Chains A and B, each alone.
Chain A
Amino acid sequence: MTSEIDFTELGVFLFFFALVTIMGFVAAKWRRPKTLARLDEWGLGGRQFGTWITWFLVGGDFYTAYTVIAVPALVYSVGAYGFFALPYTIIVYPFVFAVMPKLWRVAKDDGSITAADVVRSRYGSRALESAVAVTGVVATMPYIALQLIGMTAAIAALGIHGDLPLIGAFVILALYTYSSGLRAPALIAFVKDAMIYVAVIAAVALIPGKLGGYAAVFDAADQAFKAKGSGGILLAPNQVVAYATLALGSALAAFMYPHTLTGVFASRSGHTIRKNAVLLPAYTLMLGLLALLGYMAHAAHLKPANNNDVVPDLFQALFPNWFAGFAFAAIAIGALVPAAVMSIGSANLFTRNFWKAYVNPAIDPAGEATVAKITSLVVKLGALLVILYLPTQFALDLQLLGGLWILQTLPAVVFGLFTRWFTAPALLAGWAVGLCGGTYLAWSDGLRPLHALTFGSVSFTAYVGIIALIANIVVAAAVNLAVASPHRVEGAEV
């Protein structure tokens, strides 16, 4: 990795960064509401985003900068196993299609802004509401921190080191999120996504040509894994179940996070969401192609100092400086959109399900917006401090656990949309067992996402999140049967 600063590269980078900064501040005037001093205006953009805005916003916030850096890095280091991101981001859309329009409808009808709001209005349980809200905030914090890792990789690739650029970028982000709310990332997402598409399409179209074609790329990767003695371009037999359960677990967890749900709640209708489930796989195609950059790094004989440098090094080595600068800007801006939406989603949870619930129940809509704006600043500051002062591994470990935790809110958030059978105490018990049991399993395995299971003579490794979710649902069903009251009202399905 060169550490000299190239001014063409830096100039292109700064130009695009300045462009989105201006857009972030102008966004407050975009589709101008009567007032931004309402939480559903600041935090949900007025619940009026149509098909295209939702497509860019959800795409921009689900396929994060960290994804762009980490997926090729994982494929580079382990091969086929890292490709689980592809089936994961395919089967997530049938789930979105079947579930999210119903969730949107319920949220719209009772004025819910967060998943925890929906849970409270369905079950009338403060305890279950708090469980969902706390899980959401805790799972999202490390996710924001990871966006900073993505941004750091892009800035370091420019040859700029030190923490100041990162702090500067984050302060700017914090300020325009504060003033414009969800409208800022929604507007910036147009630029970010267009840039990422251009960078990825150029990479997958041009790089294999320079390296002798896709067959040569796969061969080079195969040779490299054989030489290394681990990994491979196909799954080892003991990775098959792990691959499938990671894909399924990640897909079920993806739209339980506050940032993805914020994108869902901000859309105009259930119809908009269904249409997006048809259109969003375009991003999945891009992600799959991007993952192949991990193999291209083998074919180009790169020796990145750190796996996270795979993508920056590849662009640096194979493209002219101006285009490398463009690609690094795309990654850095790619961190801003999800970081903004994540902080907004967390702020919405804090405001609605903690502040309004326990501190000031009489708060008016303008007060809610103020609390949320300040919370979004605090959340981002927290993520920045984690990255600056704690080991990176801490954020990575927490992110892994976060995925496992957020998955445990699925029964509480989703089951109520389809059946009235489950009760709040049962769901709460299931949540607690899934969360604690899953954390214990991951912890006892040295914070690894996979756990070895043995049934008689059959043994396999599976994603801990799925194991915990099964325990969660079994416990919820068992508690429900145990405390079942014959007088419970069987309500109609929505």
Chain B
Amino acid sequence: MIHHRLWLLLLPCFGLLIVPLYNFHDPVLFGFPFFYWYQFAWVPVTAFLTWIAYRSYPDDE
């Protein structure tokens, strides 16, 4: 039985749906208020977590 790492995919859901975690202005990064760069940062992080989960599945092609 291969251990699928699907649970990793819950992290972006928690990180983005619990809005009070990030609904503020500071710290600012490259001119972007925290609200914006925090959410942008989840794009590559989610892709990375999904990639780890992806590698736990066999290639069925």
| Chain A contact residues, CB within 8 Å of chain B | 80, 83, 86-87, 90-91, 93-94, 97-98, 208, 213-218, 233-235, 240-241, 243-244, 247-248, 268-272, 274-275, 277-279, 281-282, 284-285, 288, 292
Contact = CB atoms under 8 A, between A and B. Distances in A.
B16 A233 contact: no
Interface in B23-61: 23-25, 28, 30-33, 35-36, 39-40, 42-44, 46-47, 50-51, 53-54, 57, 59-61
Nearest to A50: B61
A41 to B, nearest CB: 20
A282 B42 CA distance: 12
19 contacts: A83-B36, A83-B39, A86-B39, A90-B42, A91-B12, A91-B46, A93-B46, A97-B54, A213-B31, A233-B25, A234-B33, A235-B35, A244-B19, A248-B13, A277-B50, A278-B51, A281-B47, A284-B43, A285-B43
B23 A235 contact: yes
Given A94-B50, A271-B59, A277-B54, A234 B31 contact: no
B18 interface: yes
A347 B54 CA distance: 33
Contact of B43 (A233, A248, A288): A288
Contacts of B31: 208, 213-218
Contacts of A247: 16-17
A285 B40 contact: yes
B36 to A, nearest CB: 7
A213 B30 CA distance: 9
B13 A94 contact: yes
A205 to B, nearest CB: 13
Interface of B: 6, 9-10, 12-13, 16-20, 23-25, 28, 30-33, 35-36, 39-40, 42-44, 46-47, 50-51, 53-54, 57, 59-61
Contacts of B36: 83, 218, 292
B34 to A, nearest CB: 9
Contact of B46 (A90, A234, A240, A248): A90
Contact of A243 (B6, B19, B25, B61): B19
